Structure 1
Amino acid sequence: MSNTPRTVSCPACGKAVVWTTESRYRPFCSARCRQIDLGAWASEAYRVPSSPPDAGDGEEFPPPGTARG
């Protein structure tokens, strides 16, 4: 096994980051890149694509504003 630390790319800017305990913001290169990523999550810029449920999937949803009984 090699003792050479792994190098990864910063998810925000792509800069090389050495993956060690001394890399305070890993996997990001800096506090700025970490904040940029957090802001993207907070503004819902990251989304998982989905499709509408099938009409025949067996689950019925009540109209908005009504309670389930």
Structure 2
Amino acid sequence: MSLKVSCPTCKNDVIWQPESTYRPFCSKRCQLIDLGEWADEGHKIAQNIDPNQEITEEMLDALEGEFLQHNKFFVEPE
């Protein structure tokens, strides 16, 4: 059984498999539309940031590890 997800841009069904090159998007077009939204700041990750808080290398490493743990499609298969 194949997992189907909705394309974040156009909401068409996308089968989640290695052959789906642009997953979670249905096409390169939808992928680029989404990228453009991020570049235009149409999409944002809302988080209160303390401007006085110094960001350390350890904090960045922890955030990256947490992100990769929850977003496995960014990790190359072993």
TM-score (norm 1): 0.64
Aligned-pair Cα RMSD in Å: 1.7
Q: Which has the larger radius of gyration?
A: 1
Identical-residue share of aligned pairs (%): 48
List gaps (5 residues or longer) in structure 1: 54-58, 60-69
**Number of equivalenced pairs:** 51
Picking from 10, 34, 38, the partner of 2:31 is 34
Q: Tell me the residue number matched to 2:8.
A: 11
TM-aligned CA distance change 1:7 to 1:49, over 3 Å: same
- Bigger proportion of residues as helix: 2
Runs of 4+ that moved beyond 2 A:
47-51
Q: Which has the higher contact order (CA 8 A, sep 6+)?
A: 1
Report the TM-score when normalising by structure 2: 0.57
- Give 1:41 shift: 0.3
Deviation at 1:5, TM superposition (A): 1.1
